[in-house]
Amino acid sequence: MQESQTFQTPETVIKPIEKTPMVATKIAGIILVVTFVLGSATGFMVAQLTPTSTQGTGGSASEVQRVDTETKAGIIDKKTFTDTATGVLREGGIDGEGSHHLERGAKDQTAYLTSSTVDLSTYIGKKVQVWGQTNTAQKAGWLMDVGSVEVISE
């Protein structure tokens, strides 16, 4: 090691900085580790307390059930799928909106349908009642995401 040298100038005496332990850096590191551990523990506890939905529809297990018979199919969840319509199911949407449509009488009453829970093609040509959730549409007067379907007549 070199000896510390003192330099003198006419105005002041300049001494080199001596090497001391970086206490502030050690304290900052400890605070960072403690914060990480406490944050992780808090996140874990919150995750354990937060209820999770079954089926991914937002309802609890007692409110949601899946049905798949010849005359009914889909997720029965009255809280999520609040809209309903009845008519004859036909293939085809309008200008890219909907994969199927429901003829409900007059042309301006047509409901255009999509569904990720029900295979609508199984019910083409049948009079059905559908339950779903209305979505925003650009071309369709009514665009519904179907959660469940029930055959009323063949």
pLDDT at 57: 46
Cα 115 from Cα 118, distance rounded (Å) = 6
15 pLDDT above the threshold of 80: no
- Under the banding of pLDDT at 50, 70 and 90, the label for residue 69 is confident
Burial label for 84, CB within 10 Å (0-12, 13-18, 19+), is: middle
Task: Provide the 10 A C-beta neighbour count for residue 69.
Answer: 8
- Tokens at 10, concatenated: 């006419």
Tell me the CATH architecture of domain 65-153.
Beta Barrel (2.40)
- Under the banding of pLDDT at 50, 70 and 90, the label for residue 27 is confident
How many residues does this entry show for the chain? 154
H or E element, residue 87: strand 83-91
- Least confident range from 44-53, 122-131, 145-154: namely 44-53
